[in-house]
Amino acid sequence: MSRLKHIHIEGYPYFVTTTTKANIALFSDTKLADSLLDCIYYGRENNWYHLLSFVIMPEHLHLVIVPQERNISQIMKGIKGFLARRINADNQNSGSVWQTGFYDYIIDTEEKLFTKIRYIEQNPGKRRLVSKPALYRYSSAYEQNLTDLDFYLNGKKAGQECPAYPE
């Protein structure tokens, strides 16, 4: 049986989950978590997507993104491939560090958007990695980590306009 194809609907946020190969807690290593954080911000800075929310857990990644210059499949291939190449180069190794594929869900209402963001940002607390979500460095709940949520909802970024949901 073939895998389902990922669809692209312009202007809508995607909730995305991807997991490390064999559920290995790679991102317990802060160097690897920092590398993944760099990858996430590289995609944002290069207009692959608007970044609305994220969390890097020890063995998986959750994102809420709005694709821009790439579709969801290209985005995930870029993030996962970049990180795998970096890890393999550092360890003089080769091969996949991620499970094949990823899960995505198109978010079609603001209520669902905020439900997914709460889920993502509360994840480290539920796993007892921190006492409060704002203390987890690898999450959009962490104050110094930038997102495009305000821009997406209100069009407040360098005077640009951005609708929350296409009409």
Find the CATH number of the domain harbouring 55.
3.30.70.1290
Residue 159 lies in a domain: no
Residue 102 located in a structural domain: yes
Q: Is residue 166 part of a domain?
A: no
Q: Please indicate, yes or no, if residue 150 is contained in any of the structural domains.
A: yes
**Minimum mean pLDDT range among 4-18, 55-69, 120-134:** 4-18
Domain with 138 in it: 14-154
In a domain, 27, yes or no: yes
Average pLDDT score over residue span 39-57: 97
Whether the Cβ atoms of residue 44 and residue 50 lie closer than 8 Å to each other: yes
Residue 161 pLDDT class (50, 70, 90 cuts): very low
Residue 22 falls inside a structural domain: yes
Specify the pLDDT at position 1. Answer: 44
* Full DSSP string of 21-82: GGG--GGGSHHHHHHHHHHHHHHHHTTSEEEEEEEE-SSEEEEEEEESSS-HHHHHHHHHHH
9-13, 44-48, 56-60, 89-93: segment of lowest average pLDDT: 89-93
Q: Give pLDDT, residue 159.
A: 42
| Strands laid side by side in the 60-67 sheet | 49-56, 60-67, 14-19, 103-106
Would 54 be classed as within a structural domain? yes
C-alpha neighbours within 13 Å on the C-beta side of residue 63: 29
DSSP state of 98: B
Does residue 7 fall inside a structural domain? Answer: no
**pLDDT tens digits for 68-99?**
999 999 999 999 998 988 887 777 676 788 99
Confidence (pTM)? 0.88
- Quote the number of domains for the chain: 1
